[in-house]
Amino acid sequence: MGRMIGIDLGTTNSCVAVLEGGEPQVIHNQEGGRTTPSMVSWNADGDVVVGAASKRQMVTNPSRTVFGVKRLIGRKVADPEIQRLTRTLPYTITAAKNGDAWVSIDGRAHSAQEISAHVVAKMRRVAEDYLGEQVTEAVITVPAYFDDVQRQATKDAGAIAGLQVRAILNEPTAAALAYGVQHQHDQRVAVFDLGGGTFDISILTIENGVFEVLATSGDTALGGDDFDRAIIELLADGFQTESGVDPRGDAVSLQRLKEAAEQAKIELSSTMTTDVNLPFLAIGKAGPVHLTRSLSRGEVERACRDLLARLAAPCAKALELARCTAADIDQVLLVGGMSRMPAVQEAVLEIFGKPAHKGVNPDESVAVGAAIHSAVIGGELQEVVLLDVTPHDLGVKVAGDKMSVIIPANTSIPTRETKVFATTEDNQSFVAVEVYQGPHAQASRNRRLGRFVLGDLRVAPRGATRVEVSFTMDADGILHVEAVEVATGKVTSVTIEAASGLSNEEIKRLAAGMR
């Protein structure tokens, strides 16, 4: 049996850590960095390049360089968020047979799980080089607001990379573990996690080594990529006004704009103004046109005003679900690279009425927490107990396409909940139990997880036959559903394990190709 590691599989950057001598260690990659760009490229020879080497190809090889794939994982092409992304990406998103969002490289479609697996495999190699031994198991983190299908897709990415994924851990919970192990006193913590692709807010209590998640909320369509896009639009609109040329129509120009926007955003976290210089950005009627301008922090904040305004509502919802107020929060932890933006920190101060704690590294704390959780699973740390929650409503479809919730969002897991339903037609001989996950009152607008049938019901008038449906969710988030005819005790059940869109055979084939 090899070692177990903790992996923060991020939208923009990924990080790996391991417990050494009772202390979590963030591992440097082969290039000397503590984080690795979550980017995968296919070069002209068809070879796969990952990390910093891929990022260097972003401008020269834009159509074969994939970034931000975490925003595609477990999602359909028809998803409005995917449709919005498609308009600004230099690579091509295509629909798989089941409608999943895949990436087309030179006419060949690659699943988001496969592309993510290349990043996970890179993290595995980084750890093996450091440890000098084989790594076979991992804890991988995901945004707290990821649904079942996205979590399973992430787990499949780990399997393709040759790892047994022992746990899928929520990123804010991981950050709280990294903080709480160092600060053992009892307290209530808000983890404000604004990463490259998603925003999560979780409220936790830490008492005597027990980490209990009280509530979680978030926005899976809000992250650093969106702030970059706002800056790109700002730069491109100004350039078009001056030169009459729209640089967004060319893939290479768009990538150069993205690189400049990301760099300007970083620099404006510590200075009030920065210069953007992009020579030969486009070709106008009179020849080459250059983008040269000064960009101020105020301009960027105005361009991102709508994005900043979206931070408050999930925080208010999480506080409400946790049955506490901002005044009850002892510490606010900032996680994710976007949390370094001064305007974001000002928003946190306004929402919680207190400045955020600066004692955790926003880029590394999630990986550190994953390493701590791997040590808990492996029995190396026994004084830490983690109690998490389910992030979404779970229920069944009833007459009129309504969603009848059985396990509400933010219920502590493991848990078991039961509801009784009656037949809706005379002489009904069976009931079909359709299981859904999501926040909408209309079942079809939620994520369908599975279906099974309880048949051979006794013949009776409408409403006379009653069926008891029980949902049991274990600590790993696996859902077991059971239906019992109340009068006869006839029972049927199914274990709902979300399908990520890849079959076991496809996962095995892709895993073999990784070796």
CB 329 within 8 A of CB 189: yes
CB 258 within 8 A of CB 65: no
Q: Please identify which of the residues 70, 155, 265, 397 carries the catalytic annotation.
A: 70
Structure-block tokens of residue 98 = 């089941």
CB 261 within 8 A of CB 228: yes
Q: Is 70 a catalytic residue?
A: yes
In angstroms, rounded to a whole number, what is the distance separating the alpha carbons of residues 472 and 513?
37
Structure-block tokens of residue 246 = 């729209």
Q: Is 171 a catalytic residue?
A: yes
Q: Please identify which of the residues 114, 148, 156, 193 carries the catalytic annotation.
A: 193
Which amino acid, residue 210? V
CB 167 within 8 A of CB 173: no
In angstroms, rounded to a whole number, what is the distance separating the alpha carbons of residues 77 and 177?
35
In angstroms, rounded to a whole number, what is the distance separating the alpha carbons of residues 271 and 408?
45
In angstroms, rounded to a whole number, what is the distance separating the alpha carbons of residues 345 and 356?
7
Contacts of 346 (CB under 8 A, 6+ apart): none
Q: Is 397 a catalytic residue?
A: no
Q: Please identify which of the residues 171, 226, 363, 364 carries the catalytic annotation.
A: 171
Q: Is 508 a catalytic residue?
A: no
CB 257 within 8 A of CB 247: yes
For residue 250, with 0-12 CB atoms within 10 Å meaning exposed, 13-18 middle and 19 or more buried, which class applies? Answer: middle
CB 164 within 8 A of CB 3: no
Angle, vertex CA 197, rays to CA 444 and CA 477, nearest 5: 55
What residues act catalytically?
8, 70, 171, 193
